Structure 1
Amino acid sequence: MSTIQPSRFLRNALALDAAACAGTGLLLSLAAGTLAGPLGFPEGFLRGAGLILLPCAAALAWFASRESLPKLTVFAVIGINLLWIADSIVILVANWFVPTGLGIGFVLAQATAVAIVTELEIIGLKRSQTRLPARLA
């Protein structure tokens, strides 16, 4: 398995992703009842989304602290972020919910933030050095 020595840029991008997941996760899980009406999404949906983000934040923070990572791990983070962006768009166009204007803006803003963080992670991955397995080095 190919590993990388994450560049400082990648580690910072992963840490930013972790902080954003933690902040959004805490907001959605703790304030779901308050946000449901103004956003136009069910309380359970918001709380569930928030609770999904909290372990993601912990994993991303751990990844950001590592001196080496499997390259596949970074690809998985990028892929999951791209899936989150796609799901955000689907939520708005599939008519599963009736979000308010504020809810639409919230979904678009967080999807845009995820897209920016994902681009930063891609740049960071390109700046990272691949490490050969010990038996090949």
Structure 2
Amino acid sequence: MSLLSSPHFLRNVLWADAVSCLATGLLQVLFTGAAAQLLGLPAALLAWSGLFLLAYAGAVAYLATRKPVPRAAVWAIVAGNLGWAAGCVGLLAGGWLAPTLLGQAYVVVQALTVAVLAELQFFGLRKGAARAAW
């Protein structure tokens, strides 16, 4: 059985989302000052977005434990991930900040990661709808 055909595909993607948010949130909260210097991003932005990511990780992990996974809530997670990706692009394109090259890479990696997670979650939702229609 492939990963894509697993009946737990959506749940696994939610766990991946939760773990990535937890790791990023902890990094930003625990090492705010050092990260701000390395990335050229405001410490307050890193701290507050890190706290948000920790709460978001908890919410996504909670959804991943539900049986069945609540589809409407996952649609909200998909929208949230797409919004985060758009916010990352806006942060770089807006010209309000001057992140270092490493900071730019950090923001781009976040945008790409959450965009891919949103796509995988969308795929999981569609796969589940198709399976339910059988």
TM-score bin, normalised by smaller chain: 0.7 to 0.9
List gaps (5 residues or longer) in structure 1: 1-6, 132-137
Aligned: 1:49 with 2:49: yes
> When you count helix as a share of all residues, which structure comes out higher?
2
Paired-residue identity, %:
40
Per the alignment, residue 81 of structure 1 pairs with: 81
Partners of 1:39 and 1:100 within 8 A in 2: yes
* 1:1-137 alignment runs, 5 A limit: 7-129=7-129
Aligned equivalents of 1:72 and 1:96: distance in 2? 35
Partners of 2:32 and 2:43 within 8 A in 1: yes
Per mean C-alpha deviation after superposition, the further-off stretch among 88-97 and 62-71 is 62-71
> When you count strand as a share of all residues, which structure comes out higher?
1
4+ runs of 1 displaced by more than 2 Å? none
Aligned equivalents of 1:58 and 1:22: distance in 2? 8
Superposition TM-score, scaled by structure 1 size: 0.86
Aligned equivalents of 2:11 and 2:42: distance in 1? 35
Q: CA deviation at 1:60?
A: 0.5
Higher relative contact order, structure no. (Cα contacts within 8 Å, ≥ 6 residues apart): 1
Partners of 1:9 and 1:127 within 8 A in 2: no
Partners of 2:21 and 2:57 within 8 A in 1: yes
Superposition TM-score, scaled by structure 2 size: 0.88
Q: CA deviation at 1:72?
A: 1.6
- State how many pairs are aligned: 125
List gaps (5 residues or longer) in structure 2: 1-6
Give the alignment's Cα RMSD to 1 decimal: 1.4
Q: CA deviation at 1:126?
A: 1.4
Larger radius of gyration: 1
Q: CA deviation at 1:71?
A: 2.4
